[in-house]
Amino acid sequence: MAVDLHLHSTCSDGTDTPAQIVELAAAEHMTCIALTDHDNLDGIDEARLASEAAGIEFIPGIELSVDYEHTKMHMLVYFLEPGTGPLQDLLAELRRGRDQRNVAMIEKLNQLGYEITADDVARHARGRSVGRPHVADALVEKGHFATRNDAFDGLLSDGGVAYVERDRLTAVDAIGLARESNAVPVIAHPITINLGVEAGPTFRKLADLGLGGIEAHHPKHNLPLRVKFEEIASTLNIAATGGSDYHGAGVREFRVGKGTGDLLVPDRAVDQLRDQLNR
Ligand code: AMP
Ligand code: FE
Ligand code: FE
Ligand code: ZN
């Protein structure tokens, strides 16, 4: 039995609705899923209802992009309920930061000779967290690139020629706010963090501050890395979680419950995550 605790819907930059994702999870016999859209909880109610109907346990979640010292990381926050709360109340501000950054990115693209407008980008976004994936889709539509990925590689990736920074919380603040909101913060896909030899001490420091888990199982982690992050989480007495980071069929080739084929997130990840609620 397996779970998938990292899923994106049309409420952010995925291409399937929350209900469609639950259908896919049911087809893969998932026992528990979490919806983790970027910067909003808009899909939670739909996903929860559909999960109940399908007999799948459901955990509400979100994914944030945060600053940590000289680097950036993604933070998954589990058991975060829609409505108001210390972290929930900041989400509108984070989305405003996205909108301002999109304006700046479109201006930069125009200066580089790519003719796209805010309307072009908006047409590709179905939710309230609009960002680079939707800009990339607009560039593809205009014929500048063949795929979303190519647009990232050519222009939009971190440090790319059309890249623009946006306002982010710090990892330390996000951990504090998550805990104040009765939710559990987890470092997402740590392979993507530029930490090198500082990784061990960083995880320990953040665990002391309330970090509740590390996403050990992710399609971008090879098997030895999944084992390594499981061990680090176990040493720190925090959860080792995982998920497919599904964004839709054909987007980055990650599938619900399976990742690129070899993903298997054990049920115990949910028990460990739940234990973190009482810390
Ligand atoms: P943003 O939140 O607007 O900064 O955009 C980041 C999102 O873009 C990530 O959550 C991914 O879903 C997506 N993304 C990042 N890198 C790539 C890439 N190389 N190809 C396609 N999508 C990407
Ligand atoms: Fe995304
Ligand atoms: Fe991420
Ligand atoms: Zn994600």
Predicted model pTM: 0.97
Which atom of ligand 1 approaches the CA of 8 most closely? Answer: 12
> Closest Cα partner for 162 from 118, 96, 102?
102
Confidence of residue 203 (pLDDT cuts 50, 70, 90): very high
Residue 262: partners with Cβ closer than 8 Å, 6 or more residues away: 223
Interaxial angle between packed helices 91-111 and 132-141, expressed in degrees from 0 to 180 and rounded to the nearest 10: 30
Which atom of ligand 1 approaches the CA of 166 most closely? Answer: 4
The answer to whether 171 touches 190, Cβ cutoff 8 Å, is no
Backbone φ and ψ of 266, nearest 5°: -70, 150
80 CA → ligand 2 middle, Å = 18
The answer to whether 39 touches 167, Cβ cutoff 8 Å, is no
Question: Per-residue pLDDT tens for 67-90?
Answer: 999 899 999 999 999 999 999 999
Q: If you average pLDDT over residues 235-244, what whole number do you get?
A: 98
Which atom of ligand 1 approaches the CA of 135 most closely? Answer: 3
Interaxial angle between packed helices 171-180 and 199-208, expressed in degrees from 0 to 180 and rounded to the nearest 10: 30
245 CA → ligand 2 middle, Å = 8
174 CA → ligand 2 middle, Å = 18
Amino acid at 278: N
- Indicate the top mutation candidate among 7, 11, 152, 167 to test ligand 1's pocket, ranked by most ligand atoms within 8 A of CB: 152
Question: Per-residue pLDDT tens for 19-71?
Answer: 999 999 999 999 999 999 999 999 999 999 999 999 999 999 999 999 999 89
Rounded mean pLDDT of the chain?
96
Burial class of 198 by CB neighbour count within 10 A (0 to 12, 13 to 18, 19+): middle
How many Cβ atoms sit within 10 Å of the Cβ of residue 107?
12
Percent of the chain with pLDDT over 90: 94
> Cα separation of 166 and 1, whole Å?
39
113 CA → ligand 4 middle, Å = 30
Residue 221: partners with Cβ closer than 8 Å, 6 or more residues away: 189, 191, 229
Find the residues whose C-beta lies inside 6 A of ligand 1: 13, 38, 65, 131-133, 148-149, 152, 157, 247, 252
Question: Per-residue pLDDT tens for 244-259?
Answer: 999 999 888 899 999 9
